[in-house]
Structure 1
Amino acid sequence: MALVHNKNHARSLIDAGYETREIDFQKLATLNKALKNIDTLVYVASKTYSVFDRVRELEKVLSAMQENHVANLVAMSFISLEDSAEAMGYLHGLNDDFSHLTGHEPESMEHFLARNYQTN
């Protein structure tokens, strides 16, 4: 399942047989529709130039995950050097929110993959 902003840009995924759902991270209604029956979400933040817009986006994603009982989140993002000092305090609070909403502590990608996708 691929969640995409625009199905026209996902033509290669559709042609390869992947199911796609359109999503808008700024609209909770599209998030709730897209996350139905999803177990693990690999979330790549939208390209925004404001760290606070990105944080609001993540808050909506976490709310939709809670509403739809999405069990796992793999989040990938970045913070520009200009925003890092101010944003890190805010993001630390988001870790607490994430833990409260999901009952899980954030973990590294390496630990998540090792725990969930071990090969014999």
Structure 2
Amino acid sequence: MPDRMELTFTPEDRYARLRLISWWDQDLLRAAKVLVVGAGTLGNEILKNLALLGVGHIFLVDMDRVELSNLSRAVLFRATDEGKFKAKVAAVRLREINPELEVVPIVGNINFEVGLGLFRHVDVVIGGGG
């Protein structure tokens, strides 16, 4: 019978369940820099999951504002957010989900207003918009 690795964790550890996965590296996630382009329906789900997983740094680019029609599809927005920039609202909500998260909202068009330097600065780029 193969040796079993004993894993211990404290109940206070937010990522205790994830650490039960033998190959999981929470420190790697905490150090990761992720660029998410788009904070609409798909972007909301991506961002929520990255925050819950404990990714340490998120750069969020979106140029749109929250509309009432977004509320039926996007968990990070509220009716009181109507007219506000999606990137800024999402950043606030992500910090509520995970106060350890560093999130940088960038209001702008990824094609014309964000330089290539940002792409070089991150580990992963995820498209969250259509």
TM-score band w.r.t. shorter chain: 0.3 to 0.5
Higher relative contact order (CA 8 A, sep 6+): 2
* TM-score of the pair, normalised by structure 2: 0.35
When normalised by structure 1's length, the TM-score is 0.37
